[in-house]
Amino acid sequence: MRRIDVETSIFALIWALRESGEESENDILFRVLSEFKSIKDSEAQSLRAESEETQLSSESTQQPTGSFESLEVKSSKKIQGQTFERERPMGKIRWVDDVFEAIRKLGGRATLHSIYREVENIRRDAGRSVPKTLDATIRRTLEDHSSDSANYRGTDLFANTGRGEWEIRQDRRA
């Protein structure tokens, strides 16, 4: 497997294109790119089978390491002179990713109300669900990822800077 870096918004678009039976980014992109290039199904399947055979033969000659190479998503953008950067393994987009992206888009610091609206926009634009409990879910996510909260669960991403105001922790800014 190869590794590519994509922005969070592109990653969300890839998963928004997912069809039933597709379980990885590779499956989704293979179908989309095959359709885009108008490759005949038999040629596309032949290419895919050839790729899988090559991968299997190279894996059989390597010592197993117990870990898998994964595609990472890297989001980096300058806002008001600061760069916010976050890397995470590819896979299901988590609430914390949407909340982090929302605060980043809002300049690194925002009120709860602004965060609610931005997360809602991010999820709608990506074709993901927006539950009725959106506000509570966002509050829980902020508290779970802030050492300022009694609900803190281990990854210290956010700081509570006042009543109803949150920011990305300084050490999470690149």
More confident residue, 166 or 2: 166
Q: Dig out the tokens for 73 from the structure.
A: 């998503």
pLDDT by residue (tens digit) across 28-77? 888 777 776 654 455 555 656 666 665 554 444 443 333 333 334 444 44
CB atoms within 10 A of CB 105: 19
pTM of the model: 0.50
Flag whether pLDDT at 10 surpasses 90. no
Report the pLDDT value the prediction gives residue 106, as an integer from 0 to 100. Answer: 95
Span 79-172 CATH architecture: Orthogonal Bundle (1.10)
Contact call for residues 130 and 124 (beta carbons, < 8 A): yes
The set of long-range contacts for 16-20, using a CB threshold of 8 Å and a minimum separation of 24, is: 16/126, 16/127, 16/128
Distance CA 29, CA 170 (A): 35
Report the pLDDT value the prediction gives residue 1, as an integer from 0 to 100. Answer: 67
Report the pLDDT value the prediction gives residue 81, as an integer from 0 to 100. Answer: 52
Average pLDDT, the chain: 74
Domain layout of the chain by residue ranges: 79-172
Q: Dig out the tokens for 152 from the structure.
A: 């803190």
Report the pLDDT value the prediction gives residue 53, as an integer from 0 to 100. Answer: 60
